[in-house]
Amino acid sequence: MDFSIRAANVEDCKDIARMILELSVYEKLADHGKITQRDLEQDGFSKNPFFHGIIAEVPEQHKTKDGHLKIGYALYFFSYSTRKGRAIYMEDLYVMPEFRGKGIGKALMSKVAQLGLAAGCCLLNFTVLDWNKSALDFYSSRGCFDVTAEQGYHCMACDGEALQRLAQP
C-alpha cells in the first residue's frame, strides 16, 4: 500500500490527539484522553518544543471509513544517557489497526532511527507494556532489547501532589 512519512506540523495535532486516544484505549490505560489537541499544539509546536513528531499518511483512495488520511504517528524527543551519550527517545509509535502489517510501523520507526543518527545519537530508547506481545515481537525482530529484563532497570515516576512535595526544599 502507498503511504508517506513526513514531519508533523501544528495542523496534525487534531489527528495526533485522536490517535493518542486510540492507542491509550488499546493499551487499557486509565488516564486516556487527558492530552488534547490544544496541549499538543502548545507543547510540541511552540518555542522549545517538548517533543517532535512524524506522521504516516495514505492517499485519498485508501482513506478510512471515517475519512482519515493520517493513520499513524510517532513522537520523539532527544535525550541523554551517561552510559552511551546522545540518545533519541520514542514516545509512542502507532498505526491504526486496519493499516497494520503493511510496513508502516517499520517505516515510522526507521525514520525515528534516521533522525536520531542524523543528530549524532547512538541510542534509541522507548518503553513497551510487558503484556503487549505483538509489540515486543515487533521490536525484538528489529534488533531492540529489553533493558528491564536484561539489566534490571525499572521506570520510576513522580507526579501530582508527590511532585509538589518533592519540590519543597
Question: 6 to 25, contacts with a second copy by CB under 8 A?
Answer: 20, 23-24
State yes or no: is 89 an active-site residue. no
Q: Give the SS3 label for residue 114.
A: helix
Quick check: 98 binds a second copy (CB under 8 A)? no
| Number of residues near a second copy (by CB under 8 A) | 74
Q: Segment contacting a second copy (CB under 8 A): 6-14, 54-62, 63-71, 82-90?
A: 82-90
Binding of a second copy at residue 148 (CB under 8 A)? yes
Question: What's the per-residue H, E or C state across 24-76?
Answer: HHHCCCCCCCCCCHHHHHHHHCCCCCCCEEEEEECCHHHCCCCCCCEEEEEEE
* Alpha-carbon gap, residue 146 to 19, rounded angstroms: 25
Nearest-approach distance from CB 44 to a second copy, in angstroms = 8
Closer residue to a second copy, CB minimum distance, 58 or 112: 112
Q: Which three cell numbers mark 57? A: 499518511
Site for a second copy in 42-71 (CB under 8 A): 43-44, 48, 50-51
| Calpha distance 126→22 (Å, rounded) | 19
C-alpha distances (whole Å) from 82 to each of 90, 125, 155, 158 are 18, 13, 16, 21
Residue of 73, 89, 94, 139 with catalytic role: 139
- Asked if 141 is part of the footprint of a second copy (rule: CB under 8 A), the reply reads no
Q: Which of 2, 60, 61, 152 binds a second copy (CB under 8 A)?
A: 152
Choices 7-15, 27-35, 54-62, 64-72 (CB under 8 A): range interacting with a second copy: 27-35
Q: Which of 102, 104, 1 is nearest to 54 (CA)?
A: 104
Q: Which residues are catalytic?
A: 139
